[in-house]
Structure formats: C-alpha cells, structure tokens
Amino acid sequence: MQERILEILSEYCEEALTYNGDSMMEDGIIDSFTVINVVSDLEDEFDIEIDAKYVIAENFRNKEAIIALVQKLLEE
Amino acid sequence: MQFISYSFVILWMITFALYYLLPKRMQWYVLLAASLIFYGVGLGGFPLNLLLTGVTTYGCGIYIKKALEQEKEARKQCVDREQKKTVKAAFQKRRKRVQILYMAFNLGLLVFYKYAVIAVPVIETLMGRHAGFLEKVIMPLGISFYTLTAISYVVDAGRENCEAETDFLKVLLFLAYFPSVTQGPFNRFSQMKEQFAGEHGFSYDRMLRGIQRFVWGAFKKLVIADRLGIFVDRVYGVEAASVSGSIYACATVLYMLQLYADFSGYIDMASGVSETFGIILPDNFRRPYFAKSVAEFWRRWHITLGAWFKDYVMFSFVMSGTGRRLGKACKNKWNGYGRQAVPIMGTMLVWFFTGIWHGRTVSYMLWGIYYGLIMSVSLVLEPFYESWKERLPVKGKHGERIWTFIRMARTWLIVFLADVLIRSGSLAQAGAIYTSFVTRLHIGSLLSSEITSYGLGRYDFLLLIPVLLIWLAVSAAEERGLDVRTVLAGRPAVIRWACYYGIVLMVLITGIYGGSYDTAVFMYQSF
C-alpha cells in the first residue's frame, strides 16, 4: 500500500518523496491542485472516500501523514 | 478606534496592566472586555451585528456538537460498514441543512451591508421615490473579516477539525478579539482556543518583542505607505489623458508597495499587540514580492484569506457530490487535461469570490477573474515550463539566478497590471492608463520636474530611498530565515537601542500624520 501511495504522489510531485519537513503545503512543495489530484487517485486506488474534512494541511504535511490518513480511512 | 490613536494606546496600556495584574483565570475576560470596548468605540454604537453573528455561530456550533455526539452513538449500534455509511449520510444531511441556514443568514447580512450601497439607489429609482434608507445603513466595522472567521468556526466544527465551544463568551472573544477584528488575520478556532484559555505570565522579552513589531508596523504604515499614498492618490486623481505612461507606471509600482506596506504594517501592529498578551496570531504575509510565480505570490500575500478560500470554497466544491461527479466525467477527456477541469473550476470560483470580497465594483470582479485565469493557464502549461527553460541559455548557478529574477519580474508584471485595475477609479480610467503605457510612455517624465508635482517633493523621494532600503534589507534577512528581532537582541546594547530609537524617531519625525498624531486610517479596513 505504501509503495502505491508513494507512486501516486511522485506522479504529481517527486519532491514530496524527499521532503523531510512537516508543512509540505505551506512550504510550497505541493499546491492545492496536486492535493486534489492525489486525493482523487487515492480514492480510486483504495476505494475510499476522502471527505473535505480530511483535506487539511495537517494530513498533507509530509508523505508519512498521507500514508497514515489512507491507513486510517481503510480501517474505518 | 484606530491602532494609531491616543485612545488605542490608552486602551492597550490599561488592558495590558489588568491582564497581568488580575488573577490569570480572568485574562480572557479582560481581552473580551477590551475587544468590546475597542469594537463599540470604533463603531460608535452597540455592536448588534457582531452579537447576532456571535449568537448564531455559538448556537450552530452547539447544534453540530450535539448532532456529532448523537451520530457517534448511532454508529455504535451499526453492525456493518454499509449501515454506518447510511447513518453517517443521514446525520451529515441534517447538519448540512442547519449549516446552510446559518450561512444564508450571516452571508446575507454581509452581502446586504456590502451591496446595499449599490442596490438601494437602483431600487429607489425603480420605485420612483427616495426613502432615505441608505443614510441609515452603516456597514459594521470588520464585518467582512468576522463573518468569514465565524463561518470557519462552524465548518471546522462540522468537519470535526475543532470542537464547538460551550461558553458563548469564548465564541464572542474569538470573533471580536480586538487586534484582528477589523482587518484580520483570519484566525482559526483550533489555533486560538488554547491560547485564549491559557494562563499567561508576564514576560519582559515578549512585551519588548510585541512593542518592536508594533513600531515596525507603524514605520511601514506611516513612513512608507502613507507617504507613497500621497503620490499615488494625486496621479490617479487627475485626468488620465494629461499624465504620461511612465508617471502612471511609477505610481502603480508605488501603489504596489503602498498596499503591501499598509496592510502588512497593520498585521505587524496587530500581531505585536497580541504578542504582548502572549497570544500569537497566524502569519499573513511572507515577503510576497520575492515570489517566483503568481501562485506563490498568493501563498505569501494575505495568507489567511487564501487559506480560507482554499479550505472552505475550493476543497468544499471539489470534494462535494457535484465536484466529484464532474471530476469523474472529465477525468479521461481532452487528452488527459480533463482531470484538471474541476481544479480549474474551483480556482475560478475561488478567485471570483476573492474579487467580490475585496470590492463591490466590476473592476474587482475582473481582477478576480484575471487571477483565476492566470492560475488556471499556469496549471495547464506547467508541464511545459521545464522544457522551455531547457531551451533558454540559463545554465549553472549564475543562470539559475537570472532565471529566478526573470520569474520574479514576471510575477511583478502580472501584479502590476492587476493593480492598475483596482486602483483606477473606473474601467475607463484603467483602459486609458493601459493605453498610456503603450502610446505615451515618455520615460523622460521620470527625470523631469513633473515627478515632484504630485504631492511628493524631492526630499520625500530622497527619504524614500534609505527607508525602502531598510525595508528591503529586513525582508531579505527574513527571506534567509533570520528573525531580525532575535538578531538585534544579540547585538551590543548601544547598537540595539540605536536601532530601536532610530525607528521610533523616524516614525515620529518622518511619519505622515493628519491634523494630529491621531489620524491614520488603514486601506484594508474598507474591504
């Protein structure tokens, strides 16, 4: 699962894979367009629905946070 | 009540004294009382609209909180995932209905006050009589700011990104907090709740840092913004045909700086005041003129407004049923570009609303559409940028610097063209100014005596050079990650205090005041 998430992420922003900080959106690594496209692909790939409430900077602060979000939604 | 006024300084000092002298559990009451006094005095009356927004926001928050608790209870009884989904959808529908009513009421108030000025004369003309209604309508101070702040609270409560508050007075403090009530930044409840509830001990360093930031804001406002404003107002105030294109270009560049100095100056002052109480407001500016693209510019300018529109308009639309359906329908169309259709629609929506939030004229609407189109075109062209860059002779470290400068200059040009639109008194004037850039630029005007005939004398221009250089140096240091106040604190006392006194003296001696040291009004207050 992690590998597939990273593949999706790298499709839109390779820099996100090497980013080590914790505010990827504020630091301009990913913008809202990337987030929307990544969310759409993650929904299709894992058959989950990512509500607007999850689309916050906190859940997209780095690649680990995105993986954790998907994991949480899969467990729900 | 303006920040730059005797009455504000007195209010700040009394609030500060009571805040640290009274028991710590009383601190937030002190801030609430100060906020209501600040707001009431500024409004010149009873803050009915603010209270209405406060009551409805509090009520809606409580409803959401209870509905969420009931939903959790109901979900516990569910036996499978499908049943849970059904229960969730049913509760979501109920919450959404109340939220829509809440937003209709509060946005209705905002639209009424913003657009009554336009709508009432039209209605009166149609009815054929003047009822004098408009004279009685006074736009509530900061309504554009506290309404959006209140909506963020309700939406966040619904999204479970913050827990709704059970104490009405705490909700009221969140909306009315005096450093940010009139011009922002847009606070989020999740960031402010703990800070308001926390008990803050007195700290000399924190007080000093707060005052430093306040004075720096006053420097930007009074020494830079209001001085530049004299020239800009005069140039834009005369008949378009009589001014050369280069003078208009100069006035527009100075307007870009004026708007930034004015608004960021206000934010520095607001953040400085708040810092003295131990409450940190969110950043609203991060040196926007260092941006290398328009998207980056708007990530650095009025950050909290951009974040508000992104979170509550863009993502709400894209993640809605309609947004998802459109996304699925377009995804594989137009050679792969279809997947950008919904983000582009969201962007256009955001920028349309950003435009009409800023002003009630067609110029602001066009200004919003202009930025929306630029962002959307950038999104489509983004994959080509790298290949275009490869073809340019900008290689190596030196080449990268040139490339960065080119990108920054392109951003300045885009902002420059947009600012002509919003600074002009009408679309006709904006059109005449754009034409003047092409048909009668007359660069020589900038070096002739004409430049000093618009309110700013030779000495004002000479003063602006070092003043703007100081501002640039501070910005460049911050851009490199330095905190100038911390750097100063580490310098010998003589240098440190020379800098402090230097800035204070510049504000007092070279600041532009009205009839007394009591009359500076901020530009963003009118939004």
Facing residue for B339 by CB, picked from A32, A37, A50? A37
Whole-model pTM? 0.89
Please give the residue of chain B at the shortest CA–CA distance from A56: B311
Contacts of B319 in chain A (CB under 8 A): 39, 50-52, 55
Q: Is B178 helix (H, G, I), strand (E, B) or coil?
A: coil
Residue range A7-28: mean pLDDT, rounded:
88
pLDDT digits (tens, 9 = 90+) for B506-517: 999 988 876 544
Is the distance from CB of B454 to CB of B231 less than 8 angstroms?
Answer: yes
Q: Is the minimum CB–CB distance between A55 and chain B shorter than 8 Å?
A: yes
Q: Is the minimum CB–CB distance between A7 and chain B shorter than 8 Å?
A: no
Q: Is the minimum CB–CB distance between A39 and chain B shorter than 8 Å?
A: yes
Kindly report the nearest CA distance between residue B106 and chain A, in angstroms: 22
Enter the tokens of residue B107. 């946005």
| pLDDT surpasses 60 at A55 | yes
pLDDT digits (tens, 9 = 90+) for B398-445: 888 888 999 999 999 999 999 999 999 899 999 999 999 999 988 998
B506-to-A4, B1, B308, B459, B474 alpha-carbon distances in Å: 59, 24, 36, 14, 16
- Do you find a cis peptide bond into B383, omega within 30 degrees of 0? no
List residues of B whose CB lies inside 8 A of any A CB.
158-161, 295-296, 299, 310-311, 314-316, 318-320, 327, 331, 339-340, 342-343, 346-347, 379
Please give the residue of chain B at the shortest CA–CA distance from A37: B339
Facing residue for A52 by CB, picked from B319, B327, B342? B319
Residue to mutate among B315, B332, B345, with most A CBs inside 10 A, is B315
**Is B316–A52 a contact, with Cβ atoms under 8 angstroms apart?**
yes
pLDDT digits (tens, 9 = 90+) for B317-374: 988 888 888 888 887 788 777 888 888 999 999 999 999 999 888 999 999 999 999 9
**Is A52–B379 a contact, with Cβ atoms under 8 angstroms apart?**
no
pLDDT digits (tens, 9 = 90+) for B25-41: 999 999 999 999 999 88
How far is it, in rounded angstroms, from Cα B32 to Cα B37?
9
How far is it, in rounded angstroms, from Cα B415 to Cα B413?
5
Residue to mutate among A13, A27, A32, with most B CBs inside 10 A, is A32
How far is it, in rounded angstroms, from Cα B283 to Cα B218?
17
**Is A55–B319 a contact, with Cβ atoms under 8 angstroms apart?**
yes
Which pLDDT belongs to residue B317? 92
How far is it, in rounded angstroms, from Cα B347 to Cα B373?
8
Please give the residue of chain B at the shortest CA–CA distance from A27: B299
Is the distance from CB of B190 to CB of B174 less than 8 angstroms?
Answer: no
How far is it, in rounded angstroms, from Cα B138 to Cα B116?
10
**Is A51–B340 a contact, with Cβ atoms under 8 angstroms apart?**
no
Kindly report the nearest CA distance between residue B319 and chain A, in angstroms: 6
Q: Tell me the H-state helices in B440-483.
A: 458-479
Which pLDDT belongs to residue B41? 84
Kindly report the nearest CA distance between residue B340 and chain A, in angstroms: 8
Residue range B275-300: mean pLDDT, rounded:
95
Torsion sign, CA atoms A50, B354, B152, B86: negative
> Which residues, at least 6 apart from B444, have a Cβ–Cβ distance to it below 8 Å?
B246
Kindly report the nearest CA distance between residue B503 and chain A, in angstroms: 31
Facing residue for B343 by CB, picked from A26, A28, A36? A36
Which pLDDT belongs to residue B306? 94
Contacts of B380 in chain A (CB under 8 A): none
CB contacts < 8 A, A to B, total: 43
How far is it, in rounded angstroms, from Cα A18 to Cα A64?
11
Please give the residue of chain A at the shortest CA–CA distance from B162: A53
Which pLDDT belongs to residue B271? 97
Is the distance from CB of B437 to CB of B249 less than 8 angstroms?
Answer: yes
Share of chain B above pLDDT 70, in %: 96
Which pLDDT belongs to residue B82? 82
B331-to-A9, A44, B325, B339, B340 alpha-carbon distances in Å: 18, 12, 10, 4, 8
Is the distance from CB of B436 to CB of B243 less than 8 angstroms?
Answer: yes
Contacts of B318 in chain A (CB under 8 A): 36, 52
Please give the residue of chain A at the shortest CA–CA distance from B81: A76
Facing residue for A31 by CB, picked from B295, B320, B342? B295
Q: Is the minimum CB–CB distance between A51 and chain B shorter than 8 Å?
A: yes
Kindly report the nearest CA distance between residue A3 and chain B, in angstroms: 23
Least confident stretch, B130-134, B189-193, B374-378 = B130-134
| pLDDT surpasses 60 at B519 | no
Is the distance from CB of B376 to CB of B348 less than 8 angstroms?
Answer: yes
Which pLDDT belongs to residue B218? 95
| The amino acid at B65 | K
Q: Is the minimum CB–CB distance between A27 and chain B shorter than 8 Å?
A: no
B404-to-B292, B389, B395, B407, B468 alpha-carbon distances in Å: 7, 11, 12, 5, 22
Kindly report the nearest CA distance between residue B159 and chain A, in angstroms: 5
Which pLDDT belongs to residue B380? 81
Kindly report the nearest CA distance between residue A36 and chain B, in angstroms: 7
| pLDDT surpasses 60 at B238 | yes
* Secondary element (H or E) of residue B377: helix B362-391
pLDDT digits (tens, 9 = 90+) for B165-216: 999 999 999 999 999 999 989 999 999 999 999 999 999 999 999 999 999 9
- In terms of Cα–Cα distance, which of B226, B215, B238 is closest to B460? B226
How far is it, in rounded angstroms, from Cα B173 to Cα B351?
30
Which pLDDT belongs to residue B291? 95
Contacts of B327 in chain A (CB under 8 A): 40
Q: B132 falls in which pLDDT band (50, 70, 90)?
A: low
A28: which DSSP letter? T
Q: Give residue for tokens 């954790």.
A: A68
Share of chain B above pLDDT 90, in %: 69
- In terms of Cα–Cα distance, which of B315, B354, B51 is closest to B161? B315
Question: Taking the CA of residue A61 as centre, how many other CA atoms within 13 Å lie in the half-sphere pointing to its CB?
Answer: 7
Q: A33 falls in which pLDDT band (50, 70, 90)?
A: confident
Please give the residue of chain B at the shortest CA–CA distance from A25: B299
Which pLDDT belongs to residue B19? 98
Please give the residue of chain B at the shortest CA–CA distance from A28: B296
**Is A32–B315 a contact, with Cβ atoms under 8 angstroms apart?**
yes
Q: Tell me the H-state helices in B219-340.
A: 226-237, 245-276, 294-300, 303-309, 315-318, 321-330
Kindly report the nearest CA distance between residue A32 and chain B, in angstroms: 8
Please give the residue of chain B at the shortest CA–CA distance from A38: B339
